[in-house]
Amino acid sequence: MAMDTLDEVVPAPLTHLSGDERLFRTTVREFAEENIAPLVHQMDEEQQLAKGLLPQLFNLGLMGIEIPAEYGGAGGRFFEACLAVEEISAVDPAVGVLVDVQNTLVINAILKWGNEEQKKRYLPDMATKMVGAYALSEASSGSDAFALQTRAELHGDHYVLNGQKLWITNAKEADLYIVFASVDLSAGYKGITAFLVERMAPGFSVGKKENKLGIRASSTCELILEDCRVPVENVLGEVGKGYKIAIETLNEGRIGIGAQMLGLAQGAWNHAARYAKERKQFGKPIAEFQGVQFQIAEMAIDIEAARLMVYNAARLKDAGHTFVREAAMAKYFASQTAERVASLAVEIYGGSGFVKDFPVEKYYRDAKIGKIYEGTSNMQLATIAKLMLAAVK
């Protein structure tokens, strides 16, 4: 069953989008289906992006969606970045997270906290050829992000960074890293500072690449800083205010992960629905059995609810409204939905769903990370509860 036919049967919520947004989404969808879909299995098996895919993403403007035109970017909005992540993730969530980290974390941080010199130096390249990575996590600081131990000491006109970062997305492809380090460990979170570290910086290296359960084409590596020299002009924002950058950027990034998980769920549903109409048992397609119909319906309901939550959070962000609670809800619910929908998709495929010759087992593997990175499900629940209870009088 062709994708356009499926869209006619179960249309995406076009009423939520303007004409320009629909056109943008359609363009990204067609690109993903034509250029990414044929490479998904190969990239998953080889655990790396296919050669030539990155330039295509840059050429289409998907790696610099919110970068203003004056710096060579598309001049789009955060909502459009989320649409791109959603549509790409429906085909391959591993490529989706590459686009997500680039746009919702790295570029957003530079746009908001970078000075004019830093924007002129990095944003034109990030719009056309430079991949970015966001380096906060360490062995001792996951959910407790501010327990980081990477140190930064001022030596004249530069800082010397020492430490190790773990689980850094885009690490292999990146040429620019936002690295969080403390200028004073005794000061706790008030010592944390963000640095723009270039790949060729003396004392900087990319270490082990992780062998992961899912999103295997997305590189996840350790970063090693051994007397890494970073010029003072590469401090992002203010010294000692890195914690503020981390908190606010991750709040935005959670909407992006919500979009990734939303796209994943939609992609798994698309495959399951088509298969249910094609697979025959007892003389008729399994889609005609009520038990399967109920599963298809419940999956679609959860996906629609997740979409509404993700879109709402993204639009609140673009409008300049408070969105922390909505971002946490969207990230939590979309990741729950992705895992549940992908699991049911495997069951609808039956034995075929359990083998790599068919697409849904990969969605199932890819879904698990949604509950973990950029804030675990428990951390989202804690945030939601805190904000909801604070509003009770």
Catalytic residues, by residue number, are 374
45, 68 Cβ separation under 8 angstroms: no
What lies within 8 Å, CB to CB, of 324 at 6+ separation is 251, 383, 387
132, 203 Cβ separation under 8 angstroms: no
178, 118 Cβ separation under 8 angstroms: no
Neighbours of 144 (CB within 10 A): 10
Angle of helix 242-278 versus helix 93-100 axis, rounded to 10:
160
**Which residue in 285, 128, 104, 82 sits closest to 178, CA to CA?**
104
The residue type found at 209 is K
What lies within 8 Å, CB to CB, of 301 at 6+ separation is none
214, 43 Cβ separation under 8 angstroms: no
Using CA atoms, how far apart are residues 81 and 75, in angstroms rounded to an integer? 11
Largest CA distance in the chain: 79
Phi, psi of 153 (to 5 degrees): -115, 135
The residue type found at 17 is L
